[in-house]
Structure 1
Amino acid sequence: MNRLKQIAEEIRSKNTKPIYFLMGEEAYYIDKISDFIENNVLTEEEKGFNQMVLYGRDVTIEDIVANAKRFPMMSEKQVVIVKEAQDLSRTIEKLADYAENPQPSTVLVICYKYKTIDKRKRLGKIVAQKGCLFESKKLYENQVSDWIGSILKQKGHRIEPKAAHMLVEFLGTDLSKIDNELEKLSLILEEKTLITPLHIEENIGISKDFNNFELRKAIGDKEIVKANQIVQYFAQNPKSNPLVMTISLLNSFFTQLLLYHGLKDKGKINVAKSLRINPYFVPEYQRAAKNYPMRKVAQVITRLREADLKSKGVGATALPQGDILKELLFKIIH
């Protein structure tokens, strides 16, 4: 985030680099920087003749270089943006010759999504020296909730940990998808709203009572009636609650619980750090650890693996997913 702010500030100050090589697994930040350059380097009047967008599948490195070497018309700068540049991965190193001696009046933006170049090779070294080499790394699941909080803070809102966790569970770690939903919430809600699970349920369509987060909590606390109610709901709504997702999240929970049992220091701060969770959720693990000793946790992980195989048709051809989940719940709790 700090690097992103630094790049934005440089662009606002007209201190642009001749080449921006944006790469990495997380497309969100690549798009953000590219869009910021597209919207802020040139005026609307200058864009007509001096801003172009190319696509990696349609051009060669030679085409990109030829466009980058053009002189701007009635403007100090021209902007050349190459989207989906990862389609040029086999020849991308050929861009090093241009990067060595870039056109000063051109801002060349290379959007190299889902991949990275070798920083030790010539292109990486030159861009890092003469331009901007930005790597957008994928956030771990435990980092996304904090990211949601920071984005909403910029929009003038706050969010409860449970509400943020619901978003991550439902939308995964795709930051672009999450940001779209947060933008919708910002437009709907009043300024400085504390976003709760009820807001998520009413505006995004995720049930605050019947979701994987609540199922995990009910299983951890051995609230049998509540866990069965959620599983029954899942069985009736399989498309909205795919079994593979439920098994994956439960497996992560019990794997973390296994790590918890192995910790010498079970203080709140150390548990949160070791398990990579928000301190808000530590009591949930402390209660679950009392209900599931280490040996039982190991057994549950085995049961989860068996259920995963059944969900994929191994040893349980055509067995409804709801039945697999009900059987799994019985084996976990008993």
Structure 2
Amino acid sequence: MNHQKILADISARKFSPIYFLCGEEPYYIDLICQALEKQVLKEEEREFNQNVYYGLDVDVSDIIAEARKYPMMAEYNVVIVREAQLLKNIDNLEVYFSNPVKSTILVLCYKNKKLDKRKSGYKALQKNGTYYENKKLYENQIPDWINAHLGQAGYHISVRNALMITEFLGSDLSNISNELGKIILNLPQGATITEDVIEEYIGINKEYNSFELNNALGHRNIVKTNRIINYFGRNEKKYPMPLIMGNLFTHFSKIIKFHYVQGKPRAEQAAFVGVHPFFLKDYEIASRNYTLKKLVDIVDILHNYDLKSKGVGNSNPSNSELMKEMVYLILH
């Protein structure tokens, strides 16, 4: 069952006696758990009928005992176990999975892992509860997620600006959701999320960011690249060299990949390179500007300057100067 269906059922008060929430993406696990935490009981009912435990601090026997209690002056008894992946002897919950109490809603947040589907506990869950499992989104899927997330809230954003947010925030959906929340709180529904809006509420400089650096390097725009690098050098705390190095390695690795799928259908190119199809034209330009031999040299340059930034074979303590040297070698 997907998270949309589970959330819709919760809103309609169609509850399951057990929710086993697991997988690589904690955002949706937290989202479902929060919905249950807020929507099952009224605020005045929660003091005696809603208990939250942590896997490291509780025994399976205590969870079962709590789940077998009946509610006091409420319809449900809610038992939430956060960090359930840290529970010892979780297989012992099978006895409860096989015979849950209908007036209890047991929620297990089992992050970054999944249940062994060969065991009988999984089969009991499938029969008597809700088993939800997810996978982490690939980075090239994040811009579409941002677009959909904002669209559901009544906002509009271009693919380019969604990618800029992705380049800056990475693939942590919880963090992205929090940052987008700042925009949603301050702009009216129907608004378009522009670069100025992103700069004001998320703090991404529309001219000086990793996305623009990648673009400048890909187009071999020496003036723009140096302007961005100089800005990064003056703001090292906001643009630390390890973050920039990781971004550049990923970017040039994708240009290398593009070389191997030139002439292929666009969908195949996008899937292989790991980018949104909208940006394939930028990689096409970059592949014309950098031969495979040069790209291999660039990867070597990045590796060497990554070591230098960590103090290996480097007598120059300034990361700003290192970045200037590195970019010069990449472009020439």
Q: TM-score, normalised by structure 1?
A: 0.94
Q: Secondary structure at the match of 1:76?
A: coil
For 1:15, the equivalent position in structure 2 comes to 14
Instruction: Give CA-to-partner distance per residue, 1:251-288, whole Å, 9 cap, x none.
Output: 11111111111115344333223222112211111111
Q: Verify the 8 A CA contact 2:254 2:274 in the aligned structure 1.
A: no
**CA offset at residue 42 of structure 1?**
2.2
Q: Verify the 8 A CA contact 2:3 2:132 in the aligned structure 1.
A: no
Q: Does 1:43 align with 2:26?
A: no
Q: Secondary structure at the match of 1:238?
A: coil
Q: Does 1:248 align with 2:237?
A: no
- Work out the number of aligned pairs and report it: 332
Q: Verify the 8 A CA contact 1:160 1:197 in the aligned structure 2.
A: no
Unaligned runs of 5+ in 2: none
Q: Secondary structure at the match of 1:180?
A: helix
Q: Verify the 8 A CA contact 1:260 1:266 in the aligned structure 2.
A: no
Give me the whole-angstrom Cα distance separating, in 2, the residues matched to 1:162 and 1:73: 53
Q: TM-score, normalised by structure 2?
A: 0.94
Instruction: Give CA-to-partner distance per residue, 1:282-323, whole Å, 9 cap, x none.
Output: 111111111101111111111111122222222225632112
Instruction: Give CA-to-partner distance per residue, 1:10-34, whole Å, 9 cap, x none.
Output: 2233332111111122211111000
Bigger mean CA offset, 157-166 vs 216-225: 157-166
Give me the whole-angstrom Cα distance separating, in 2, the residues matched to 1:330 and 1:48: 63
For 1:273, the equivalent position in structure 2 comes to 271
**CA offset at residue 136 of structure 1?**
3.0
Q: Secondary structure at the match of 2:151?
A: helix
Give me the whole-angstrom Cα distance separating, in 2, the residues matched to 1:327 and 1:285: 24
For 2:58, the equivalent position in structure 1 comes to 59
Bigger mean CA offset, 132-141 vs 314-323: 314-323
For 2:143, the equivalent position in structure 1 comes to 145
Q: Verify the 8 A CA contact 1:55 1:82 in the aligned structure 2.
A: yes
RMSD of Structure 2 on Structure 1 (CA)? 1.7
**CA offset at residue 9 of structure 1?**
2.2
Q: 1:171 aligns with which of 162, 169, 172?
A: 169
For 1:316, the equivalent position in structure 2 comes to 314
Give the fraction of aligned pairs with identical amino acids, expressed as a percent.
44
Bigger mean CA offset, 292-301 vs 273-282: 273-282
Q: Secondary structure at the match of 1:112?
A: strand
Instruction: Give CA-to-partner distance per residue, 1:146-200, whole Å, 9 cap, x none.
Output: 1111110011001122221222222221111111111110111122111122211
Structure 1 stretches of 4+ moved >4 Å = none
Q: Secondary structure at the match of 1:272?
A: helix
For 2:299, the equivalent position in structure 1 comes to 301
Give me the whole-angstrom Cα distance separating, in 2, the residues matched to 1:213 and 1:289: 17
**CA offset at residue 138 of structure 1?**
1.6
Q: In structure 1, what residue type is equivalent to 2:299? A: I
Q: Does 1:91 align with 2:70?
A: no
